Chain A
């Protein structure tokens, strides 16, 4: 997570951050988030709670920030605060924390919270929590609490190294080579979005390469052998059998009795 704090001219506190794709594989499609935190309104319910900030444009300039994923350029984020916004959770109190999430396709998601609700969500002290993948669930207002126990119920752990799915969510990395088998199911869709394909197309260790070639060749010979036996061409069959024997280091050959 790359965080860069700046104050713009109007005094609004702007938190910029780029998500490193690898740490948050679940939100891969979201390349950039911006969080805008407004100062609390002075007095009670002034018409323009953020003063000079109303309609202000927070220029981010041409800054190029490069995360693990793609570098991000944000040209500007428009803050439109023409009226007091109410808390989007309790819908009763005026909001004091304004969070805007901007995804790569320029879709914006707003979450406006009052003091109490921000605290309840734990967003008052750590607004970055808004960036966790579950934030979308949170936007479904309270749905996350219902989902949480379900998520905790099934926990797969790698039998080799003890690494759990929760650990992966936290770090974006796996525990050991065997984890790829343990978590194969969950990884499949992730890999699809992450890479060009899901099947390795490059170099292999020589030992693997030769055993793969041997395997292919053996299959071929076996086929020929079966055919030879079928057509009762025993001379060819005997030759093939010897060849297979040599290649496989005297493995069992079933087709010949």
Chain B
């Protein structure tokens, strides 16, 4: 069995990946839900049936050329910590992290494809790309799906499309989403009207870890909700349009803040730097929120010579499971807060105080 920790791209390398518009769009993702024609959905199938499905699907997926040298494992072979790390990397859902016998994961070397087996559906395949690349992600997952349908018999109905465990995913089974960093809209108190109007367009806005989570670090996920009655490309195009508008609003909000309330903005950024660079104990939540302001500071030119990648790396490494993985002893939350603060101080050692133009 491959060691997950050795398999995963290092946080430094992961943070260094660039994509179009990654100043605001941190990553893009398209996932497709698929099910086998002749089996009960994972939530209803008994354990032996789930195991049988996994044993059929896992080799089919990992045998695809796109998934060469992949990390393909049954969930019960992963430790709780490994699963949590995968969640923090946004590679699997929290729901999937709770799975054990009869569920699995196939992750390719580049971490551009990740397939969850027996999550809510038999297959949840995702294509991931840095920055604003939802169209590229759709093209990639479309190809993977076409390759896979030659090996597996997917449940499909002429009228209803791909059949999914939950009727909310019926039809295309597609969820197109982008992770957005929107500190300008939050500080400018424009985020709620934006969320409302995005909702009116039939799109969902969620927190950092998807369903039912908080928008920590001013990071939001925008995705489609309706999957039936509209083609994949129509959905992708609509998302593209809306996301471009949100990006524009965020840029405008930042500009307006700088013009109208520069003191407020630099106060936030300066304090965030002050705490992060000097704290000796800090929770992951506080870290996220302050790192977001630091990231904003970098975008606005307050930290010349500092790359955004440094913040994105810390976004990852300061998460509880990533922190735990670096230390061999089991840590309590309080101990983690100490180590987290030490780590952040160390990484920010060479970052100078923010300059105010």
On A, residues with C-beta under 8 Å from B are 2, 18, 20-22, 25, 62, 64-71, 73, 161, 163, 167, 171-177, 180, 187, 190-191, 194-208, 212
Contact = CB atoms under 8 A, between A and B. Distances in A.
7 contacts: A70-B225, A73-B192, A161-B44, A163-B40, A174-B167, A195-B170, A200-B171
B166 interface: yes
Given A195-B171, A200-B161, A66 B205 contact: yes
Contacts of B167: 22, 25, 174, 187, 190-191, 194
Nearest to B233: A202
Given A175-B41, A191-B228, A69 B158 contact: no
Contact of B207 (A66, A68, A180, A197): A66
Interface centre among A20, A66, A212, by most chain B C-beta atoms within 10 angstroms, is A66
Nearest to B165: A173
For this complex, into which size category does the number of interface residues on chain B fall? Answer: 35 or more
A69 B230 contact: no
Interface string B184-210: 000001011001100100101111000
Given A191-B167, A195-B227, A206 B149 contact: yes
B20 interface: no
Interface of B: 35, 37-41, 43-44, 120, 142, 145-146, 149-150, 154-163, 165-168, 170-172, 174, 189, 191-192, 195-196, 199, 202, 204-207, 211-215, 225-232, 234
Contacts of A176: 39-41, 44
A204 B228 contact: no
A interface SS class:
loop
B228 A205 contact: no
Given A175-B41, A198-B228, A202-B171, A70 B161 contact: no
Nearest to B227: A195
A206 B146 contact: yes
Interface centre among A171, A191, A197, A200, by most chain B C-beta atoms within 10 angstroms, is A200
A52 B72 CA distance: 59
Nearest to B212: A2
B interface SS class:
loop
A202 B161 contact: yes
Contacts of B213: 66
Contacts of B232: 202-203
A206 B53 CA distance: 22
A62 B156 CA distance: 42
Contacts of B142: 203
Contacts of A197: 228-230
Contact of A177 (B43, B163, B199, B234): B163
A-B pairs, 6 with minimum CB distance: A197-B229, A200-B161, A177-B155, A195-B228, A196-B229, A175-B44
Given A73-B196, A202-B172, A172 B166 contact: yes
B212 A200 contact: no
B156 A205 contact: yes
Contacts of A200: 157-162, 171-172, 228-229
A73 B161 contact: no
B156 A174 contact: no
A191 B170 contact: yes
Contacts of B163: 177, 180
A225 B137 CA distance: 46
A177 B168 contact: no
Contacts of A206: 146, 149-150
Given A195-B226, A195-B228, A196-B230, A70 B204 contact: yes
B211 A196 contact: no
B228 A196 contact: yes
A175 B229 contact: no
A67 B207 CA distance: 9
B156 A208 contact: yes
B120 A68 contact: no
A199 B229 contact: yes
Interface centre among B120, B162, B174, by most chain A C-beta atoms within 10 angstroms, is B162
Contacts of A67: 211-212
A173 B211 contact: no
Contact of B199 (A71, A174, A207): A71
A25 B169 CA distance: 13
Contacts of B159: 198-200
A66 B211 contact: yes
B168 A21 contact: yes
